[in-house]
Amino acid sequence: MNKRNPQTFFVAPGGRLCGKLRVPGDKSISHRSIMLGALAEGTTEISGFLEGEDSLATLNAFRDMGVSIEGPYDGCVTVHGVGLRGLKAPAAPLYLGNSGTSMRLLAGLLAGQSFDVVMTGDESLSRRPMKRVADPLNQMGARIETGDKGTPPLRIHGGAQLKGMDYAMPMASAQVKSCLLLAGLYAEGRTCVTEPAPTRDHTERMLMGFGYPVECHGAKICVKGGGKLSATRIDVPADISSAAFFMVGAVIADDSDLTLEHVGINPTRIGVINILRLMGADIEIHHPCEAGGEPVADIRVRSSRLRGVDIPLDQVPLAIDEFPALFIAAACAEGETVLRGAEELRVKESDRIQVMADGLAALGIDARPTPDGMVIRGGRPTGGRIDSHGDHRIAMSFAMAALRASGPVMIDDCANVATSFPGFVELARNAGLGIVGDDHQP
């Protein structure tokens, strides 16, 4: 939570979303492009890089470890790779702000280095669980210590000899999978991760894009240590997690017709599209193609009459970051929507189940949290005041709720929106949302 720069969004009720827009670059791919570019041999050119605080935290961490990086300039970054063994000990702890992805993936990369390193974060990141990566890494031979409650800071002792292992993940998590695969680059032998349900596969795709062999056998993904990464060019597509807010907004607002351009539609990330379509959303995919090994397309979304659904369990890992927005869709649907199997939402930047339930209740919606999900009975949101608890996805989701609300919606503690979506307010206003920041109410 950013206490030095709090911000409140004021959003007028009603409106519609129309036209064409491109949301910022995919955060997951932006993180990984810096990481693998830094460890590659040669110079990697990146376009479409997300210039948000989370991605910049990863970029600055590698600068602190001796990697020469030019940019970002209008989304373009040049990374002069140092090879898998070329990182240097940072002069101070690596500060990663609000970025759990940075910390968990870096834990894997740093577990096999020759030097000691400490990773810290802001107040929100300092409450997030890290034993889920520290424990399996220690089983590989790493020496990693967490804070007393299994939270940051992470202390990684250098010089560990990692050994490959077979690891069956107890819950689906792309961050844990990626962490262990990245540690496997430094391990003796073969490292395999078996996931209980499919999760985003950006790490596997990008490793192969950098010329590193990856074996995929159904739910089992393996790498062997001792290889090398070769520099490449990466075009980062627009982030489907950022597009999700506008998809939901266009679906719930009357007379909307919005096209989101060059969005990544990786099959491990399209749960939000699948779930919205199941609810009755009018969503069309146009101009599909491939950019840098990732499928992309334009997504056209129009006003739709939504119905409540029982969300299929197999879609939950494919939409885990988009559920705050999907909860807004459920709040505007006819009937009841039930989510199960999403306990991961309780350990994100906030407890997204409880915070969303509280916010929906503040707008007059019947939302009952459960240990692993929520039951939402749709209706017409009222106006009201929301505490986003410094969670960027909570803030942007409730901004879209105003499109169906009967009164203005005020959302507090929105400064962290910049972590994933710089320029959100301006882009949303240009699309038709009546939103402003602190300076004056709409």
pLDDT at residue number 2: 40
pTM of the model: 0.87
Q: Please give the CATH number for the structural domain made up of 27-235.
A: 3.65.10.10
Alpha carbons 312 and 319: distance in angstroms, whole number:
11
pLDDT at residue number 293: 79
Is pLDDT above 60 for 440?
A: no
pLDDT band for position 329 (cuts 50, 70, 90): very high
Is pLDDT above 80 for 81?
A: yes
Share of the chain above pLDDT 70, in %: 98
pLDDT band for position 5 (cuts 50, 70, 90): low
pLDDT at residue number 3: 42
Catalytic residues: 321
At 235-294, the pLDDT tens digits run: 999 999 999 999 999 999 999 999 999 999 999 999 999 999 999 999 999 999 988 778
27-235 has the same fold as 9-25+237-436: yes
pLDDT at residue number 291: 80
| Ramachandran quadrant class, 325 (left: phi over 0; alpha: psi -120 to 50; beta: rest) | alpha
- Give the mean pLDDT of 364-381: 97
Domain ranges of the chain: 9-25+237-436, 27-235
Is pLDDT above 60 for 441?
A: no
At 88-146, the pLDDT tens digits run: 999 999 999 999 999 999 999 999 999 999 999 999 899 999 999 999 999 999 999 99
Alpha carbons 343 and 171: distance in angstroms, whole number:
10
Q: Are the beta carbons of 174 and 100 closer than 8 angstroms? A: no
Is pLDDT above 90 for 231?
A: yes
Q: Are the beta carbons of 391 and 352 closer than 8 angstroms? A: yes
Residue 319: how many CA atoms within 13 Å on its side-chain side? Answer: 26
Is pLDDT above 70 for 223?
A: yes
Q: Please give the CATH number for the structural domain made up of 9-25+237-436.
A: 3.65.10.10
Q: DSSP 3-state assignment of 264?
A: strand
pLDDT at residue number 264: 96
Average pLDDT, the chain: 95
- Give the mean pLDDT of 379-392: 96
Structure letter (DSSP) for residue 188: B
Alpha carbons 222 and 129: distance in angstroms, whole number:
25
Alpha carbons 65 and 71: distance in angstroms, whole number:
17
pLDDT at residue number 1: 37
Exposed (0-12), middle (13-18) or buried (19+): which is 254, by Cβ within 10 Å? exposed
pLDDT band for position 442 (cuts 50, 70, 90): very low
